[in-house]
Amino acid sequence: MKQLQNKLRIVISTIILITGIKAISFAQDSIVAPVLLDIKYFVSDRQAPYLIVKTKIKKERKFLPVKDITVVVFLNEKSNTSTLGKIITNEKGEGKIIIPVSFKSTWDSSSEFTFKATSEPVGKTEALTAEVVIKKAKLVLDTLNEDGVRSIRITSLEKNGSEWKPVKGVEVKIMVKRLLGDLPIGDEESYTTDSSGQIIAQFKRDSLPGDINGNLVLLAKTEDNDLYGNLLIEKNCKWGKPLQDNNDAFNSRTLWGAHFKTPFWLLGIAYSIIIGVWGIIIFLVVQIFKIKKLGA
């Protein structure tokens, strides 16, 4: 009897516990989560530095984008003269601001910046603010080929006054650019710079197809680094397998050939049918004229 009572207690406690947990989670979901504003800094060797502003909301344990939020971004302080730009977030909840050329002198004169993003309250969305402090830094990518072993050397440099100094402990991803995404150059997902601010990583993608000249695009990047943001460097190198010129396929008489390169068999069939049927049509039109002549 006592055993039965104990079992009953366990069952009831379990039910209460599960119901309680569910109730708490439902309660959490039912609370309207605030809209979150985020700002990220990007710099690459091939384009001007830019910022991505993102607005999102947590709903059913997922982050969903919030569109149509107007965000103003400032450099260092909130004032009209330091306004970098104004964007309205798109369907992905994102907006991009390229740092204007007019800020070049400010940009060159300092090595540390604060980006401030603000938005006015709209409807149910309250005023939002976000801030990110960035130290100016860059990556340098060199290709090495020693005794047939191909390697990539990455140097991470931080601007200190007017000098660029190597920094250690920066996590860098080294990849090859492909059509549908970036491919790591070796087995490692990412590498960390040593005390000299360098990484030497072996390139293990020897048989990778490149463009018609065998060019591959190598790239190194930091992702959401707390100090430096998102740094990117790209470099072309002839480490790929040259793509075979397949113009022959288009210049021969195939179904996928260029204009006027229709296969003879298709031309024969198509023109036989066209001539046959239109021959009959001409015959029928002639019959109309014959009938007309008879009635004249």
CA angle 69, 75, 78 (to 5 degrees): 70
Out of 100, 267, 272, 275, name the contact with another protein by CB under 8 A.
267
> Counting contacts by CB under 8 A, is residue 255 touching another protein?
yes
> Counting contacts by CB under 8 A, is residue 295 touching another protein?
yes
What are the helix (H) ranges across 93-251?
Answer: 104-109, 247-251
Measured CA distances, 56 to 37, 62, 67, 91, 126 (Å): 7, 10, 8, 11, 13
In the complex with another protein, which residue's Cβ is closer, 2 or 259? 259
Q: Are 74 and 99 in contact (CB under 8 A)?
A: no
> Counting contacts by CB under 8 A, is residue 62 touching another protein?
no
Where does residue 135 rank: exposed (0-12), middle (13-18), buried (19+ CB within 10 A)?
middle
Instruction: Indicate the SS3 state at residue 10.
Output: helix
Out of 1, 101, 212, 284, name the contact with another protein by CB under 8 A.
284
Give the per-residue contact string, 64-103, with another protein (x = CB under 8 A; - = no).
---------------------------x------------
Return the structure tokens found at 271: 């023109």
Segment interacting with another protein (CB under 8 A) among 104-112, 113-121, 133-141, 264-272: 264-272
| Of 212, 217, 263, 201, the residue nearest 241 (C-alpha) | 212
Out of 24, 88, 249, 274, name the contact with another protein by CB under 8 A.
274
Out of 11, 64, 144, 266, name the contact with another protein by CB under 8 A.
266
- Distance in Å, CB of 89 to another protein, minimum: 13
- Distance in Å, CB of 213 to another protein, minimum: 27
Q: How far apart are CA 39 and CA 134, in angstroms?
A: 11
Q: Which residues bind another protein (CB under 8 A)?
A: 91, 255-257, 259, 262-263, 266-267, 270, 273-274, 277-278, 280-281, 283-285, 287-288, 290-292, 294-296
